[in-house]
Amino acid sequence: EPEVTQTPSHQVTQMGQEVILRCVPISNHLYFYWYRQILGQKVEFLVSFYNNEISEKSEIFDDQFSVERPDGSNFTLKIRSTKLEDSAMYFCASSEDGTGSFWGYTFGSGTRLTVV
Amino acid sequence: LAKTTQPISMDSYEGQEVNITCSHNNIATNDYITWYQQFPSQGPRFIIQGYKTKVTNEVASLFIPADRKSSTLSLPRVSLSDTAVYYCLVGDEVSGNTPLVFGKGTRLSVIA
């Protein structure tokens, strides 16, 4: 079964540092997403990406966040200057077609970001 | 997306059938009901989707009454590995790139 791959699985960074979280979506999927989950809380939508541009973003996705698809296979989330409250599990997801069908989402196993 | 209400948590013993009910009073005509499962330290995973009546797959069954204002996810003979958070989502499947928005879900704990 095709998978969404995320690296690293765990990253520790100092407050104020930049981090890049990496994802390899399923190859024939067209839509890409980042979500985050603070420990003990719900999964929160950050941003969706289609045709090399952001299609939707939440209020969480402020100027310190950016996304990129640098080479046609990777999908990255950059946090420019990390804060303690950015500590969370970050999930990448991709979906198959242009309808954004609810059943078509495949999530990765996540990157646990710890900001110290 | 229609607002949904589901229990915050449930406990069950191994081998029992578990039914998790989700209320969605404002469901629209074009909306589908979808359930996702999230194991600890993993991303959510699609398990089942339905529009009306009953849907069954190898993981679960989904029961939807005629008025569609609620739905019940049924897990037969649960095991310890079914311990997870279960999310009910309701929305129009063909509305374009509408991202999934998760609620708090139902935390199912299966006890030996």
What Rg do the C-alpha atoms of chain B give, in angstroms?
A: 13
Mean pLDDT (chain B) is: 91
> Mean per-residue pLDDT for B26-51?
91
For residue B14, CA distances in Å to A50, B1, B81, B84, B89 come to 43, 34, 10, 14, 26
Report the candidate in A31, A37, A20, A6 with the shortest Cα–Cα distance to residue A82: A20
Q: What CATH topology corresponds to B9-111? A: Immunoglobulin-like (2.60.40)
- The pLDDT tens digits for B44-96 are 999 999 999 999 999 999 999 999 999 999 999 999 999 999 999 988 765 55
- Residues listed for chain A: 116
The full set of domain ranges for chain B reads 9-111
For residue A44, is pLDDT > 90?
yes
| pLDDT score recorded for residue A108 | 96
Question: Of 2.60.40.10, 3.40.190.10, 3.10.350.10, 2.102.10.10, which CATH number belongs to A5-98+106-115?
Answer: 2.60.40.10
Mutate to test the interface with B, among A23, A102, A107, A109 (most CBs of B within 10 A): A102
Q: By mean pLDDT, which of A26-30, B9-13, B16-20 is the weakest?
A: A26-30
Token readout for A63 is 């100027």
Is there a contact between A101 and B44 if contact means CB atoms under 8 Å apart?
no
For residue B97, is pLDDT > 80?
no
